[in-house]
Structure 1
């Protein structure tokens, strides 16, 4: 009888440790997220299930073209691509991205552009000053994010700049559905 109690205690202890580790990993390191909507098409599809790396930005700042998850509201997280970084001026003219006046290629948009009619731009023209906040350059602690499906995305053009405090983490691993499993590269 004493041996049976000991085995049960060992099992309970193992389960509590496993749940504790799961809670710590889920809370501080990695979390699943499901893409909701078409705003990141062609890169991400509605229903793609991904892993968010929650600790990477504790080690370094976001980089241009990182795909990030951020709190858009108390109840809703969005997935978008970092386009503008602190101390930069961002503009789009004739579907060309300009950072501090220099043209920047966005190869991840080419497939989407190829599917658009030639007379319809993917990204409407804008300048940083015309976005909510009216900044001339992106302030420290903020980034400008855009969806890859630029003509159907609620992003910094509507929401304004995103504070680093709003960012949950970086994502780049699609694990479901099986035919979409991949690691995304910038």
Structure 2
């Protein structure tokens, strides 16, 4: 009886390869799992650092910043901005609600420390100069009077752009700097209304 001969195949080598294949497969799978784990761990660390020190994603709830921001708009808030410099008048900020710091709001900075704020028939004066608030349509204005108020050191006076539908510094007082989470940098949702601030 004649035994068929396979050309180009070393029977000893073929046998060894067949035994090594499961081990090779396990090594490759192990390397792949380790690579994925490293990637996910790195992403988790970066995400934690970004959220802790850099940026935060926020959602607008309510109409107090209309028409600039609408209910359910999604925002990117830079927490790093105010570690580098103080909030500026006109900035849109995310802040902890002074009465209940477990809640957060989005408002506009109207005045900073040592400024004098006065509201006459809904028109806002900062240091006796009428502020340029053309972003507030006539139908969103209030007609109240307030002040004059001197803003203490380390505090800010904030208001919603929808002046007759906003709970803000007119109602709960000034906001300490430590309660300002960050500067609203971007509205990213809805996409057709995406905008940098």
Q: TM-score range by the shorter chain?
A: 0.7 to 0.9
CA contact (8 A) 2:119 2:148 kept: no
State the partner residue of 1:141. Answer: 154
SS at match of 2:49: helix
> In the alignment, is residue 68 of structure 1 matched against residue 67 of structure 2?
no
CA contact (8 A) 1:124 1:151 kept: no
For structure 1, the 5+ residue unaligned runs are 130-136
State the partner residue of 1:102. Answer: 129
The size of the alignment, in residue pairs, is 170
- Residue 64 of structure 1 and its aligned partner are, at CA, apart by 0.6
- Residue 122 of structure 1 and its aligned partner are, at CA, apart by 2.5
Bigger relative contact order, structure 1 or 2 (CA pairs below 8 A, ≥6 apart): 1
- Residue 128 of structure 1 and its aligned partner are, at CA, apart by 4.1
Q: Deviation above 6 Å: which 4+ runs of structure 1?
A: none
Q: Which moved more, 1:175-184 or 1:153-162?
A: 175-184
> What is the TM-score of this pair, normalised by structure 1?
0.86
Matches within 5 A, 1:82-97: 82-97=109-124
**Alignment match of 1:59 (pick from 81, 84, 89):** 84
> What is the TM-score of this pair, normalised by structure 2?
0.81
> In the alignment, is residue 157 of structure 1 matched against residue 170 of structure 2?
yes
For structure 2, the 5+ residue unaligned runs are 1-25
- Residue 107 of structure 1 and its aligned partner are, at CA, apart by 1.9
